[in-house]
Structure 1
């Protein structure tokens, strides 16, 4: 799910990239242009508008997770949730779980075309789950476009309920050889980018926050934000994930007054296509990594589905400023 490249002449650097969707811009307390009333955000395409109008028509409510008789606090029906990095990988897996809960989901990704599995999930949303999955291509370093897209989604539904910020990059390079440019890119994507994405969504949550409506933001952190990974040389990545955990606590403290909760998920090692490629290059990791946690195995992206639904839904209504660590006990030794 990420591309592999060599970045330094004297050492092999492995760049593990998920899609990035975050703007590189300074924080500003000034609301974006679309909130001033001087601009009208674009309307959804006719075909999409029709799909939205018929979002519940294809499946009975009894198929939704969390009905009035089945854990109603997990019910996401009618909620509008954005997932950055959902063109593929962990973001797409979380998006599908939200759809199963009944949410209307928008994937934000810089990919020209999402992964082939996206089409399967999109068809399942409409044919089996009575909801819809939409794709918005955006490089969120274009802050104006990011804010316009988020505003147009909120305006189309008259609400904004949730965000899973799942985009980020990873680079493995010894600290003595890390370049300033690579470090700046890591922080701009994983920290500033995550911040700006949360800000764009939170503004719409505040804007449409009447009638007791609340919002939930989930930022994907990492166990690497709490520990230094033995045998994995990622100094800037680990620092960026530590910053994400602290950022979430601060956003939670500021936005709680608006009914917006902000939490993080800290995964352990996840077996992805890119990690499988690394195991070919470094076969010792396939054997060593599972030994570093209490369950003696690595995780799959699907094991984080439940956590995503839990944190977005009212099942976690009194949880904010917290980190949900899911690392198989790796950091609890």
Structure 2
């Protein structure tokens, strides 16, 4: 990580706006060295009900009464009941928060992550126990490196289909971050960044989509990009990371075009700066960032992982059934100035 602490030139807002600045943040992927990190629509006829279960889980699936299949308190279109969803990079951070939201919406979730399964008492363990004891669903863990384990990715997805009967969705949230000036970047570091953040995302999406193809199962795939794929973050020196997230956005569009004929939707989410506990150390090194970054968006505050729960459920559910090839940027207006 660079030891540069660049000064930002944006004009200082009012004292009232400064008071709303949050103390801790991170961009779309947190500023740690590594982070462990959609179907074509049939025209309705006058005989069909206006509400339809869009993502049939099997070829022989019949029409479903959404009001009966939805968890209490949730709009029918947002229900993920009986859906099987994979989340890569779901052991912690944004991936785990979105995983819990999917479970609350009724889905069964299988997490892919490169680190060993977190132990008893960990945040992951608490979510897994809540899924079983409170939500009546399940959370499973699979250790795999999305870049180095291409064959293992396919093997694991085959095992999931054999067990569950289908896979209906994916959130590809695994990724890494590195803050280094362009003049100091090595080929090794650049290849590793692009490999994990782009090739790893492609291989994960490929492993899931393969079974959707084979089983003629409509589905939804969500790739976690970043606002950094659209703009150059002022004062944040991450040239290759930003390039990798721009590639993820473009990858999402191309997969949507290619897989749409099989009723597989592909969209991306581009988060803004995210509050995390791990980034507190960053602000000890660069205290000016904790003050300046909130000023760079229209809400004058910074997001938390919980702010992206609804986006995950929306994109994986029937609520977004006519949405594909799109980037859902959630950055507090940072890139809209």
Query: Shared fold by TM > 0.5?
Result: yes
Aligned to 2:186: 179
Is the aligned partner of 1:119 residue 2:125?
A: yes
In structure 2, the CA distance between the partners of 1:278 and 1:112, relative to structure 1 (3 Å rule), is same
CA contact (8 A) 2:272 2:303 kept: yes
CA RMSD across the alignment? 2.1
What TM-score, normalized to structure 2? 0.80
Cα deviation for residue 63 of structure 1 reads 11
- With over 3 angstroms needed to count, the CA separation of the structure-2 counterparts of 1:84 and 1:103, relative to structure 1, is same
**Which SS does the other structure have where 2:278 is aligned?**
helix
Q: Which residue of 2 aligns with 1:16?
A: 33
2:293 is the counterpart of 1:293: no
Paired residue total: 281
Of residues 146, 150, 155 in structure 2, which corresponds to 1:148? 155
Shift of 1:113: 2.7
Q: Choose from 278, 281, 285 the match for 1:281.
A: 285
Q: Deviations over 1:106-157 (max 9, x none)?
A: 0110111327101110111011111000111112312111110011101211
Alignment of 1:44-83 (within 5 A): 70-83=74-87
For residue 255 of structure 1, what is the aligned residue in structure 2? 259
Q: Could you state the TM-score of these two structures normalised by the residue count of structure 1? A: 0.80
The runs of 4+ residues in structure 1 deviating greater than 2 Å are 61-67
Matched residue, 1:36:
none
1:162 and 1:191 mapped to 2: Cα distance?
A: 19
C-alpha distance in 1, partners of 2:191/2:252? Answer: 20
CA distance 1:70–1:15, change in 2 (3 Å) = closer
From 209, 212, 215, the equivalent of 1:208 is 215
**Unaligned 5+ residue runs, structure 2?**
6-30, 38-65
Structure 2 residue 145 is the aligned partner of structure 1 residue 139: yes
Distance 1:157 1:90 in 2: 25
Question: Is this contact kept in 2: 1:290–1:298, CA < 8 A?
Answer: yes
Tell me the equivalent position of 2:318. Answer: 314
SS at match of 1:95: helix
Contact 1:16–1:274 (CA<8 Å) still a contact in 2?
no
Q: Which runs of 5+ in 1 are unaligned?
A: 1-5, 21-60
Aligned residue number for residue 231 of structure 2: 227
Residue 181 of structure 1, CA deviation:
0.6
Aligned to 1:327: 331
Q: Distance in 2 between matches of 1:286 and 1:11?
A: 15
CA contact (8 A) 2:270 2:331 kept: yes
Are the counterparts in 1 of residues 117 and 141 from structure 2 also a CA contact under 8 Å? no
Per-residue CA distance 1:270-299 (angstroms, 9 max, x = gap): 011222221111111100000000000110
SS at match of 2:80: coil
